[in-house]
Amino acid sequence: MSGKKAKEKEATISDLLIEERKFEVPDEFRKKANIKDKDIYKKAAANREKFWAGFAEELHWFKKWEKVLDWKPPHARWFVGGKLNVSYNCLDRHITTWRKNKAAIIWEGEPGDQRTLTYRDLYREVNKFANILKKLGVKKGDRVAIYLPMIPELVIAMLACARIGAIHSVVFGGFSAEALRDRINDARARVLITADGGYRRGSIIPLKHDADHALLETPSIQHVIIVKRGDFPLHVKEGRDHWWHYHMEEAESYCEPEEMDSEDILFTLYTSGTTGKPKGIIHTTGGYLTGVYATTNWVFDLKDDDVYWCMADIGWVTGHSYVVYGPLACGATVVMYEGAPDWPDRDRSWQIVEKYGVTIFYTAPTAIRAFMKWGTGWPAKRDLSSLRLLGTVGEPINPEAWMWYHKNIGQERCPIVDTWWQTETGMILITTLPGIDSTKPGFAGRPFPGIEADILTEEGVSIQKGGSYLALTQPWPAMLRGIYGDPERYVQQYWTKWDKKTYFPGDGAKRDKDGYFLLLGRVDDVLNVAGHRLGTMEVESALVDHPVVAEAAVVGIEHEIKGQVIAAFVTVKEGNTPGGELQDELKEHVVRKIGAIARPEKIIFSADLPKTRSGKIMRRLLRDIAESKVLGDTTTLADATTVEKLKKHYEEQES
C-alpha cells in the first residue's frame, strides 16, 4: 500500500498537469554546456565515491583525505582525514588567479544604492572581520549568530566565521525577536552580528531594536556587533555592543585560515519540522563544500563570464548554498539585492537583470506566481536578452507558472532547472542537467549524478507507477550530519521510516517512464508557505501560548500565489468571547512568536476540534473544511457531529 497522503496529493497535482510536455535543450545551449556527456549518470553510479572525489580534488585541501566515505548508517563521514578551509576555497584560491579583480558580489540596496566587491575586496574584508571576531575571543567551534539584512556584510560575516572555524547560525531577518532568542539559546551563541536596520518595501526593519528584545534573555551572548546600514535610531549597550565599521578601521588585514577537519561543523541552520521546536541542522566542511560546488557548476552550467542571481534570502538554505558557498567556491559573480521585488515598482527584478546583465536567474515558484499575477507588461518593459538559464526551488511548480516563466522571462530560449532539495540535504539532489536533459513542466527531473533516489511504499517496496514516498537510498556529500544538541532526533526523524540506510525527506513523489520525478509536496505536518518551511506544531504552540487559547489546530490551505497559507482552528478557554478582534490579536501573537511569514490567513473559532478515538486531531478534515471541500472519510472520528457542526459554523463565519 502506498502512502495515503501521497495519494491524496497525487490526485490534486495530476489535475494540474494539463498536458505532459517535453522541452528539448536548445542546440545553442547544448553546444556550450559544461556537461554534455549523456553517460555521466551511468558513469557516476558505477563509482560514486570516485565521482564525488573528482569534485573534491578541484578544491584546495591543506591535507588530502584518507578515505572518501565512511558510512555507518545513518552516520556518514566524507573525505575522512582531509583538512581544508571554506573561506580559503571561496577567496584565497581565486585571488592568486586573474579572478582577483573579478566582481564577486554586485550588490544593490532597496533604495538604489550600489556596491561591488571584487574577490580581492571580499578577501580583505573577510580577513579583517575574522580578526575582529578573534579579538573578541571567538574561537574554533564557538557559535556566532547572524541576524542581518541582505547586505554584503552578511556574506563577509559568514566567510569570516568559516575562516576561523566558528560555527555560524544565520537567522532570517524576518524572524521575530522571540524566534531569534530561541535560536541563539539553542546554539548557545557567544556573539551576535546584526544591523541597525534594513530596507523592505520602503520601510525599515529595525533589526537591532528587535535583537535587543531577544538579548534580554540570551545569557550566552557576550558581544554584539552592529553594522550601520542606515542612520536608524538604536540603543547601544556599552561594553557589549560594538560598531562594525569602527572596528574594521583598525583591524589587521590578514588572518591565517584555520585548518578545519573535513567533518568539522561549518554552520547550523534552523528549520521547521513536525514538532513545535525548529531543528538546528548541522552541516560540515568538506562534503558540504564539495556538494554545493559540484551542483552550482553543473546544474547552473556556471561559466566565468556569467552574472548569477539567486533571489533567495541568505537566511534560508538556498541562500547559504547558492548565494554564498556554491557560487563563491566556483569564483562566480553573484548579484545580491536587499529588498522586495515590487519596490518601488513591479519590474524591479527585471530592472536588475537588465542593469547588470544577469545571465542565470534562480527563484521560487511563489515569486513566479506573483510575477504572473502582476502581468507580462512588467518584464516586457525590460531587456532580458542577457538571460540564458532559469531555475526554481522551494516548492512544486505548477505547469502554468512554469510555462509563464519559460515564455515571459526565458523568452522560450532559456532552459529551466527545477531543483528539489532541502535544508537537510544541503545541495540540490533532483533536477535536470541543462546541457543534457530535456525538461518537463512540473517534473523536477532525475537524481543528480551520484545521487540515488527511489519511490517507496509504507512497507519500503520500490514502485515505478503511482505516488508514494520519496526516499534517498545512498549517502551524499552535503547531507546533514545531525541536529544540534539532539542526536536522537536526527535518527528518529530521518532514518527510521524504513531502515537506517534510507533517508526519508517527508515528501511525496511519483515518476514517469523516463525516470523523471514529480514532487507531490510534504506528506508530514510541515507547511510550505510562499516557499518557506513552517511546522503546523510550531504555529500551534505559538497560538496556545496566548492566554485565552485552549487548543489550536493548524492546517495549510491552497493559495493561488503562496502555494499554501495557514488556517488555524482555535478553541478558546471558557469565559472568553471569540470574535474579529481576537482573530486579529491572535494573528499578531503568532507574528510576535515566529515572524510575519507565519501570520495565519484565517482564524476559525470552534467549540471542539475533530479528533480520532485516540485523541489525534484530524487535520485532513480541517483542511477540507477550510478549503470548502466535501468532507472526506469521517468514520474514525470519536464524535462525528463535531465536524459537521464545525463545517456549518465555518460557513457561517465565512459568509
Residues found near ligand 6R9 in the complex (CB under 6 A): 271, 316-318, 393-396, 418-423, 444, 505-507, 519, 521-522, 528, 533
Of 193 and 480, nearer to ligand 6R9 (C-beta) is: 480
- Minimum CB separation of residue 79 from ligand 6R9 in Å reads 23
Q: Which of residues 516 and 569 has its CB atom nearest to ligand 6R9 in the complex? A: 516
CB of 600 to ligand 6R9, least distance (A): 20
Cβ distance to ligand 6R9 smaller for residue 270 or 356: 270
Nearer to ligand 6R9, 223 or 562 (CB): 562
244 or 420: CB nearest ligand 6R9: 420
In the complex, what is the shortest distance from the CB of residue 403 to ligand 6R9, in angstroms, rounded to a whole number? 16
Q: 580 in helix, strand or coil?
A: helix
In the complex, least distance from residue 611 CB atom to ligand 6R9, rounded to whole angstroms: 27
Shortest CB 272 distance to ligand 6R9, Å = 8
What the block records as the C-alpha cell of 617 is: 486531531
DSSP state of 175: B
Task: Return d(Cα 541, Cα 273) in angstroms, integer.
Answer: 13
Nearer to ligand 6R9 among residue 286 and residue 391 (C-beta): 391
**Phi-psi category of residue 221: left, alpha or beta, with phi > 0 → left and psi -120 to 50 → alpha:** beta
147 - beta bridge partners? 194
Q: Where are the beta strands (DSSP E) in 394-531?
A: 416-419, 430-431, 446-447, 453-456, 468-472, 482-483, 507-511, 517-522, 526-529
Instruction: Identify residue 275 by its one-letter amino acid code.
Output: T
CB 279 → ligand 6R9: shortest distance, Å?
10
Closest CA to 239 of 260, 215, 204: 215
Q: Which is nearer to ligand 6R9, 359 or 423 (CB)?
A: 423
The residue (of 221 and 479) whose beta carbon lies closer to ligand 6R9 is: 479
Comparing CB distances to ligand 6R9, the nearer of 271 and 285 is 271
Q: Are 68 and 78 in contact (CB under 8 A)?
A: yes
| Neighbouring residues of 480: CB distance < 8 A, sequence distance ≥ 6 | 281, 282, 283, 423, 424, 425, 426, 490, 494
**Secondary structure, 3-state, 188-244:** CCCEEEEECCEEECCEEECHHHHHHHHHCCCCCCCEEEEECCCCCCCCCCCCCEEEH
> Could you give the CA distance from residue 55 to residue 289 in angstroms, rounded to a whole number?
10
Minimum Å gap between C-beta 469 and ligand 6R9 is 12
Burial of 574: CB neighbours in 10 Å, binned 0-12, 13-18, 19+: exposed
Task: Supply the minimum distance, in Å, between the C-beta of residue 211 and ligand 6R9.
Answer: 23
- Grid look-up 513542466 returns 441
To the nearest whole angstrom, how small is the minimum distance from the Cβ of residue 425 to ligand 6R9? 8
Q: For residues 183 and 522, which CB has a smaller minimum distance to ligand 6R9 in the complex?
A: 522
Cell of 258: 584555520
Reduced to 3 states (helix: H, G, I; strand: E, B; else coil), residue 512 is coil
State how far the Cα of 122 lies from the Cα of 106, in Å rounded to an integer: 11
Give the phi and the psi of residue 450 in degrees, each rounded to 5: 85, -5
Nearest Cα to Cα of residue 208 among 187, 231, 188: 231
**Rounded distance, CA 446 to CA 452, Å?**
9
**CA torsion, ordered 436, 438, 439, 443, to nearest 10 deg:** -90
- CB within 8 A of 60, min separation 6: which ones? 84, 88, 89, 92, 93
CB 558, min distance to ligand 6R9, A = 15
- Shortest reach from residue 444's CB to ligand 6R9, in Å: 5
CB-nearer residue toward ligand 6R9: 331 or 396: 396
- CB nearer to ligand 6R9: give 69 or 530: 530
Under DSSP, is residue 267 helix (H, G, I), strand (E, B) or coil?
A: strand
> In angstroms, what is the minimal distance from the CB of 513 to ligand 6R9?
20
Looking at the Cβ atoms of 482 and 506, the one nearer to ligand 6R9 is 506
Residues 6+ apart with CB under 8 A from 126: 87, 91, 156, 159, 160, 163
Length of the chain (residues): 655
Q: How far is the CB of 326 from ligand 6R9 (least distance, A)?
A: 12
Phi, psi of 108 (to 5 degrees): -130, 130
